[in-house]
Amino acid sequence: MNIHRLLFLLVVLFTSVVQAQTKSFIPEGSWRGVFDQADGTKVPFNFEVEGKSAAHAKIYLLNGGERFEGGRFRQAGDSLFISFDQFDNEFALKIENEKLTGVLRKKDQLGRSTPIEAIHGETYRFADSVEKPSGDISGKYEITFSGRNGVEEKKVGLFTQNGNKLSATFMSITGDSRYLEGLVQGNSFHLSSFIGGGISYYTGTIDSVGLLRGTANGQPFKGNKNSNAALPDAYQLTYLKEGYRTFDFSLPDAAGKQVSLKDEKFKNKVVIVTIGGTWCPNCIDEAAFVSPWYKKNKHRGVEVVGVQFERKSDQEYVKTAMENFKKRFDIDYTEVFGGLADKKAVAASFPALNSFLSFPTILFIDKRGNVDKIYTGFTGPATGEYYTRFIKEFNEEVDKLLGQPTG
């Protein structure tokens, strides 16, 4: 056999393999998945797939109007793996024509896995019934969650109903539950959300006078409709201890280089410090706002430092997590590694703070290095007017600090 014929056959064989893999990849378009949780609860979610091969495909997770880009695809025969790197999770699935079956699990395969089944072409979320909603539950609710040891947590629920379709979010001092989507049947409602991390499922009932009872991932809550429902002032929860005016640290960036707020880069500049983690859903919303904001405003004499507290502390893990986060949100500002994601550890790392309540927490530091304000939590885009208000306050605070003289 001459060399030309051999090369031709190899090309044909390679092309056939590629085509076979392409044909065996899952169909593009809409999918509906269902998690089968340990207590028997079935939690639905929706996603879309774009691309005709694992090497080039993207998954978009759909929640309440949000189209959240998910993880990476990898295919081995009829097995499909979708990695959600920010949350250390993955789907491990078997391809069965237009059906997927498998589990959601940690990428290291430690801990409990959750069975999942997904069907191509289905666009509904919760199965609809002939029972019409007993009323419109749109509005603001004062919510009390029952915690362990009798500890209660106050939240504000924001509900928007259109026919029997329902969207909602729950705000707390640590942030919001992001986009929840579901429906109303009679006087009961169901809501769910999934972006690659934890599975969110809310269900409950509401009576004619606006009294609400339900559970969120098994945690009981109750509440009542109240247009004046509000949370404590986010600027008053975290503050500097008596005797402190400034805030500083010396922490490594992803390459291991130590960074301090005393560095020349930050001298005579307004500095915004965000304390969060690449795994944190509210920190994702924060980075999606801060990254483009910094690009537009850095020429004005302002710097941003993101202090990331992660699930693991080994250098390779931290480097990968921070670089993935930087790439996803096109981050130009400085990022450093703070340590393990534990609130007590954060408080110990920053003794100037009275306490640490939430990932994320934002510090506004003036040109002289003094802390002017601290914002606990993050009210993301799912909160609507509250997100708009936060952006307005954020810009007003920066404008005020930029207008002050240097020290």
Here the tokens at position 213 are 């009872």
Mean pLDDT of 145-164: 92
Convert the pLDDT of each residue in 219-229 to its tens digit: 999 999 999 99
Mean pLDDT of 186-203: 97
User: Would you place residue 128 in the very low, low, confident or very high pLDDT band (cuts 50, 70, 90)?
Assistant: confident
Convert the pLDDT of each residue in 315-350 to its tens digit: 999 999 999 999 999 999 999 999 999 999 899 899
Here the tokens at position 87 are 């949350």
- pTM greater than 0.85: yes
| Ordered structural domains, the chain, with CATH | 27-120 (2.40.128.120), 139-225 (2.40.128.120), 250-402 (3.40.30.10)
Mean pLDDT of all residues belonging to the chain: 93
Here the tokens at position 271 are 């500095």
| Contacts for 373 with CB less than 8 Å, ≥ 6 apart | 235, 363, 364, 397
Asked whether the predicted pLDDT for residue 393 surpasses 60, the reply is: yes
Within 24-149, strands assigned E span 29-36, 42-50, 58-63, 66-69, 72-76, 79-84, 89-96, 99-106, 114-120, 139-146
Mean pLDDT of 269-275: 98
d(CA 64, CA 48): 14
pLDDT for the residue 148: 74
Q: What percent of the chain has pLDDT over 90?
A: 88
Q: How far is CA 333 from CA 267, 269, 275, 323, 339, in A?
A: 15, 14, 14, 12, 19
- Are the beta carbons of 119 and 98 closer than 8 angstroms? yes
- Are the beta carbons of 349 and 359 closer than 8 angstroms? no
Q: Lowest-confidence range among 80-89, 145-154, 182-191, 244-253?
A: 145-154
Helices 385-402 and 281-297 sit at what angle, rounded to 10 degrees?
A: 40
pLDDT for the residue 339: 96
Here the tokens at position 404 are 């002050």
User: Would you place residue 309 in the very low, low, confident or very high pLDDT band (cuts 50, 70, 90)?
Assistant: very high
pLDDT for the residue 210: 83
Phi, psi dihedral angles at 198 (to 5 degrees):
-80, 155
pLDDT for the residue 20: 45
d(CA 131, CA 233): 41
pLDDT for the residue 5: 62
d(CA 277, CA 86): 9
User: Would you place residue 234 in the very low, low, confident or very high pLDDT band (cuts 50, 70, 90)?
Assistant: very high
Mean pLDDT of 377-384: 97
| CA neighbours closer than 13 Å in the CB half-sphere of residue 186 | 7
Mean pLDDT of 368-383: 97
